[in-house]
Structure 1
Amino acid sequence: MSTSPKTGDAYLLYHSIGQYEGKKDDMAAGLADFCDVWGAANGDQWGDVLGKRQEFIDLWAELIHAPKGTVTTTESVTTGLMSVIGALPEGTLRGKRVLVAEDGFPSLHFLLTGLAKRFEFTLTTVPIRQGGNWVEAEDIISEWDETVAVALLTWVSSTSSHRLDIPQLVAHGREMGTIIGVDLTQAAGLLPYDVTAPKVDFALSTSLKWMCGTPGAGMIYMDHDLLLRCEPELRGWFSQDNPFSWDLDKFKFADDARRLDSGTPSSVSALASLPAMRWRMAQDSDKIAAHNRKLTGLLQEGLEDMGLILASPTNPDERGGSLMVNLPDSLPAAEVVAALREQAIFMDNRSQILRMSPGVLTTEDGVIRTLKALREIVQPAESRTAVATL
């Protein structure tokens, strides 16, 4: 007697939007609480809302081992990077280079391309080798000399799941005197990360993906030594130690990450993500990572057995929590994704690359079901190709 698949058993989209059991109810309760507070005619709103925003900040700091006063909120990783660039000491970038890799998130590249003329820097994009799927660490190092003022490293690539050797790259960057930032987005909440070991100058992330939060709930970490040298262009009453200091001639930046704030902080996204943050910090991190590692191992074995070529490192120690695979041109990836969706199997694609990321809801049975469905799509196509060539 067959049984229906468990809801979420083949949910493989943790590289996009993370889910966990009870998320909907947690979010509904959190937002209902916000509505109760914000809709009460009593003047008590800000104490509650700003307190919960601070809890969100504190939980992020705990996750990435950030010292007190070095984390604040931002709308997205892109706006966070804009805040960092606009805060750097005058002349930091002038006549220098900013270094990024081709497999970094495109939105950040778009931003830096637009800022290069204004801040008078040259943007250097390290390319993916011909036939490769990610940028190699040695290629980044080969482009990284004393002319690089800022290097933005992508810890885990969203298109290949390749994981950079951050300690190796930071060690090189320190010798070059570079300000070093890391985009943590594609593995934060799944793999452990410590912004102090090795010490980086800033880090950015969102509360989506493995963090299971909502859009608009980004975070900026900045090392305290750099913070004190920064005077952000984007500033406002919340950039001060006391936001209610309204003497127009006595503006003074806070001596911590609050100086990266500006006007009245956008708090709803942080409050909506707070239940997921609380859930995540209550979990066994090793157990979550081991579950992902087991399921990506099953996926890898099945995909390779079908003759499909991975677009991710074959060594699990060299990747994040996702597995990417190249589909032949005879199988339009978007059509494959749509066909699998009809069977309650959820993944996505970038061009001809399928992206699969199993998380806490995903089960071993769900992965087996995914592989079976994918095999039925791939192998008949192979058979048709073989017949056509006879």
Structure 2
Amino acid sequence: MSATGNPIGEDGSGYLLYHSIGQYPGKAEAMVVALTEFARCWGAANDAQWGYALGQRQRFIDLWGQLLNAPAASLTTTENVTTALAALIMALPRENLEGRVVLVAGDCFPSLHFLLSGMAEQYGFSLRTVALREGASWVEDEDVIAAWGPEVGLALLTWVSSTSSHSCNLEALIAHGREQGSVIGVDITQAAGLIGYDSQAIGADFVVSTSLKWMCGSPGGGILQVMPDVIAHCQPSLRGWFSQDNIFSWDINAFSYAPDIRRFDNGTPAVMACVASVPALEWHAAQDWDAELARNRSYCDQIMAAADEAGFALASPRNPDERGGSVMMRLPDRIEPGRVLEALRSQAVFADARGPILRCSPGFMTTQAGISRLTSVLIKCANSG
């Protein structure tokens, strides 16, 4: 039993999957309440449905906007980071892409690379992927800068890598990109909700993210944030009645884009992910995030120390200023990752692996007891392997 009187693990003390799905105390109960209220409203035989549903969507947008200090009317909902990036690319003026280069690092989220490689021919750009150095776990910022010249029409930066938790130097990279005249986007998925991001201070042209991870929301709760000066030049090809300033302007020969981020909307918006995620975003907004980050850093230090004792090579930076909220380690060939995960699961510790890379992300429900169980298992696996 845990100190709370719950069976070990049910209190989330050993939950280390915030790079995948975020959890917070009372999440399941809060989602049940929110979705039950939605069902009650949506199933009522009256005319209150859309006011409620679109209000929940707007609440989702407002909470994300506050988190990112986004300019008014610069953030909207998407299904995921892939659809967000696709919407942005399809909306840019042709001169930003045609005959030019799109730059991305080799440790970006693979889905985004799949998208870009598939769009290159249609939109007339060449995709330049900055490779990892031999034996490295992440792409070095200096290699990104070396590959980034004035021919780059668009660069997508991964703030924190999902495979190493390496955090790039956004300030230096964006300053370099401004000198090249590129459109600059940032995927903030693996840090948003743990490490502060100020869209106005950082100054990227657009941001993509999801609510799944440190934000503790539901699948389908993606966001696209675009700075107003960029929005003014965008004409999304995927458009519909919600892309207009007045969505009830139904003259089929008189379409005009909304003047703000709403032009990136299209048909009737999906709202279920917003409804399911609002409780998490509201919980999140009420927390002491300096304290949460400090606790994460303390736990990460202990995980790195255990990896060192076990003889597992780190696949994450030691310097917390160069790292997100996760610690990744490379298991030796003699130790099968599935066996480690099974041993961890037997102690109600939940992590995952990508090949030989074990990924551990202590978050809002993780406790010292859970970290102690993790370190014990890692050392036992090393000694028995």
TM-score bracket for this pair, using the shorter chain length? over 0.9
Partner of residue 57, structure 1: 61
Cα distance in 1 between the residues matched to 2:269 and 2:284: 24
Among 138, 143, 152, which residue is 1:139 paired with? Answer: 143
Q: Verify: 1:86 aligned to 2:90, yes or no.
A: yes
Is the alpha carbon distance of 1:17 and 1:2 closer, same or farther for their aligned partners in structure 2, counting shifts above 3 Å? closer
Cα offsets for 1:300-334 (capped at 9, x unmatched): 11211222110000111110000000001111112
Cα offsets for 1:51-99 (capped at 9, x unmatched): 1100100110100110110000000000000000000013320100000
Among 225, 249, 252, which residue is 2:253 paired with? Answer: 249
Partner of residue 300, structure 1: 304
1:2 is displaced (CA, Å) by 9.0
Q: Verify: 1:119 aligned to 2:123, yes or no.
A: yes
1:337 is displaced (CA, Å) by 1.0
Among 74, 89, 95, which residue is 1:70 paired with? Answer: 74
Cα distance in 2 between the residues matched to 1:100 and 1:152: 5
Cα distance in 2 between the residues matched to 1:44 and 1:368: 51
Q: Which amino acid is 2:338 matched to?
A: A
Among 140, 157, 162, which residue is 1:158 paired with? Answer: 162
Answer yes or no: is the 8 Å Cα contact 2:306–2:378 preserved in 1: no
1:335 is displaced (CA, Å) by 2.4
1:205-220 aligned within 5 A: 205-220=209-224
Cα offsets for 1:270-316 (capped at 9, x unmatched): 11101001100111111111111111111111211222110000111
Q: Which amino acid is 2:81 matched to?
A: V
Cα offsets for 1:11-60 (capped at 9, x unmatched): 10000001011000000000001001100010110011101100100110
Q: Which amino acid is 1:184 matched to?
A: I
Cα distance in 1 between the residues matched to 2:202 and 2:28: 37
Answer yes or no: is the 8 Å Cα contact 2:311–2:382 preserved in 1: no
Q: Which amino acid is 1:350 matched to?
A: R
Among 224, 236, 240, which residue is 1:236 paired with? Answer: 240
Answer yes or no: is the 8 Å Cα contact 2:188–2:208 preserved in 1: yes
Partner of residue 320, structure 2: 316
1:342 is displaced (CA, Å) by 2.2
1:373 is displaced (CA, Å) by 1.4
Q: Which amino acid is 1:165 matched to?
A: N
SS of 1:100's equivalent in the other structure is strand
Partner of residue 278, structure 1: 282
Among 2, 26, 33, which residue is 1:29 paired with? Answer: 33
Among 152, 165, 171, which residue is 1:167 paired with? Answer: 171
Q: Which runs of 5+ in 1 are unaligned?
A: 382-390
Partner of residue 354, structure 1: 358
Cα offsets for 1:178-230 (capped at 9, x unmatched): 00000000000000001111211000000011000000000000000010110
Cα distance in 1 between the residues matched to 2:311 and 2:342: 21
Partner of residue 5, structure 1: 8
Q: Which runs of 5+ in 2 are unaligned?
A: none
Partner of residue 203, structure 1: 207
TM-score, scaled to structure 2? 0.97
Among 323, 330, 340, which residue is 2:344 paired with? Answer: 340
1:338 is displaced (CA, Å) by 2.2
TM-score, scaled to structure 1? 0.96
1:154 is displaced (CA, Å) by 0.1
Cα distance in 2 between the residues matched to 1:343 and 1:224: 50
Answer yes or no: is the 8 Å Cα contact 2:310–2:378 preserved in 1: no
Cα distance in 2 between the residues matched to 1:198 and 1:359: 25
Partner of residue 221, structure 1: 225
SS of 2:246's equivalent in the other structure is coil
Among 186, 190, 193, which residue is 2:194 paired with? Answer: 190
Runs of 4+ residues deviating >3 angstroms: 1-6
Partner of residue 386, structure 1: none
Q: Which amino acid is 1:282 matched to?
A: A
Cα distance in 2 between the residues matched to 1:240 and 1:342: 54
Q: Verify: 1:47 aligned to 2:51, yes or no.
A: yes
Cα offsets for 1:130-170 (capped at 9, x unmatched): 01000000000000000000000000000000000000000
Query: How high is the sequence identity, in percent, across the aligned residues?
Result: 53
Cα distance in 2 between the residues matched to 1:188 and 1:347: 20
SS of 1:317's equivalent in the other structure is helix
1:109 is displaced (CA, Å) by 0.2
* Greater Cα shift, 3-12 or 224-233: 3-12
* Greater Cα shift, 224-233 or 339-348: 339-348
Cα distance in 2 between the residues matched to 1:12 and 1:331: 20
- The number of residue pairs the alignment matches comes to 381
